Structure 1
């Protein structure tokens, strides 16, 4: 079995069947391997307590999101009341939620693990276009190392949502009082999670070029027919090219779905360019104020993060040659030649006909995208 040292864990890919070793510190909270695996430069990682640990999306420039980047499931093997079970033949993981107390509601746990289970099972079964965070499943070993098993998908083909995630009653052995906890059934993809993908996920880049095709295939088609990645043999260039093209195709499908929904929302509220009034619909662009590449899932769909612009003014806005004040007045970059203004139909008297309610996006555009002599 392949092993990764504690010191190397924060630079390693997640490879199925690999053991990630604990550190040498006598304080286990500082030597706990999961905590080390998910360390990212300049970003928060995951906690070092609990079987269900959420990592939130976070961009170094634009702050934290309310969406999970990913969720870590760790079978600690310490619960006598229930045993998490993974069947490698069927690929089905049965995993219990994080409520262990009769004194609280099953959705009120400290780490909000049950809330995450409920949210993502709901999305996986009913909201194919919504953000779905991957669950990375590990099993704790007797030497306190952890073995990475694969990506646990909150979805089982041929099984209904109510059967895949059920609310069950248990009895607290200390008090004899009953309590409720969730029990989830996942399909596990025994595939490698590249370090670059983990970092992209943490930064809110969900349609990443580093995402495994097996994961993208599920997002696009709900297809889990290929659970285990097939190793590439040396010199298999054609297969590598096929996987690359497949990956590009899946990522473009996800992008078109999201962008199409965003554009429809803007068109429903107005039918012309927010700046010049041009109303030829095929020439109108749903322009993100905070760019897609750095926006999180909520921001990518937030209509307050959008302007409906003609292709000319979208290009100027996207490249940072124009931006807008909070009241909608245009600002034209000093880097854009004044003699070109008439050709592209811009002047200093123009203003937006539709002003987004959330001013924070435009302030970020002015501070980070708009071209000035100092940037």
Structure 2
């Protein structure tokens, strides 16, 4: 079975981090999680919209931002934009979870960096982990899933297809 997210939202194949555009200037981000990794326990609270997501440096041997899919660089980028007050430059972030083995996904919502119940000093934190005898870092990111049950597919496909005029 082909990956349904590729034709659905036009992002790259595979991985927890997928994007449309470039890794330096993504037009759209997709975060996927199985919510079942014991060492990296992503979690979603549907009542508060709080989504905790762990980055993609999940094994020792790499620096925090030196990951093949650029996920931790993307996390740093969107949280920097949000913290600098440039939320209009944060790309839309769609969150999906896997529903069963294979390629079945459930749309969870449109996310923004941070959460109202958390200070900005704590919404993106590099944490230490030890595997074997090696220590390494990964991000723990906290997002808010907005209260929008349906996102228009026309809007999703239009994101990033044309540059807005600079004022």
TM-score w.r.t. the length of structure 1 is: 0.41
Q: Do 2:33 and 2:98's aligned partners in 1 also have CA atoms closer than 8 Å?
A: yes
Q: Which runs of 5+ in 1 are unaligned?
A: 1-22, 24-30, 39-44, 58-64, 207-291, 293-299, 302-375
Give the aligned partner of residue 135 of structure 1: 93
Alignment partner, residue 179 of structure 1: 136
Of structures 1 and 2, the one scoring higher in RCO (CA 8 A, sep 6+) is: 2
Q: After the TM superposition, which residues 185-196 of structure 1 pair with which residues of structure 2 at under 5 Å, given as runs? A: 185-191=142-148, 192-196=150-154
* Separation in 2, partners of 1:124, 1:131: 8
Off by >4 Å, runs of 4+ in structure 1: none
Which is richer in helix? 1
The DSSP-based 3-state class of the residue aligned with 2:142 is strand
Q: What are structure 2's unaligned runs of at least 5 residues?
A: none
- CA gap of 1:170–1:138, structure 2 versus 1, over 3 A, is same
Pairing 1:161–2:134 present:
no
Conservation of the 8 A alpha-carbon contact between 1:54 and 1:113: no
Measured against aligned partners, the alpha-carbon deviations of 1:293-337 in whole angstroms (never above 9, x if no partner) come to xxxxxxx37xxxxxxxxxxxxxxxxxxxxxxxxxxxxxxxxxxxx
Deviations along 1:144-180, whole A, 9 cap, x unmatched?
31000101110212422221111101122xx331110
Q: 1:177 to 1:190 in 2, by over 3 A?
A: same
Q: CA RMSD in A?
A: 2.1
Residue 117 of structure 1: SS of its match in structure 2?
helix
Match of 1:150 among 83, 96, 109: 109
Aligned pair in 2 of structure 1 residues 171, 204: CA closer, same or farther (>3 Å)?
A: farther
3-state DSSP class of the match of 1:141?
A: strand
Q: Aligned residue pairs: how many?
A: 165
Instruction: Indicate how the Cα distance of structure 1 residues 67 and 155 shifts in structure 2: closer, same or farther if over 3 A, else same.
Output: same
State whether structure 2 residue 1 is matched by structure 1 residue 36. no
| SS of equivalent to 1:162 | coil
TM-score, reference length from structure 2:
0.88
Larger radius of gyration: 1
Q: Deviations over 1:37-84 (max 9, x none)?
A: 12xxxxxx3222111112117xxxxxxx95211110000346331111
Aligned residue runs from structure 1 range 282-293, under 5 A:
292=165
Q: Please point out which of 19, 24, 29 is paired with 1:54.
A: 19
Structure 2: distance between partners of 1:66 and 1:188: 23
User: How far, CA to CA, are the matches of 2:51 and 2:162 in structure 1?
Assistant: 27
> Larger strand proportion, structure 1 or 2?
2
Residue of 157, 160, 167 corresponding to 1:199: 157
- d(CA) in 2 for partners of 1:129, 1:168: 25
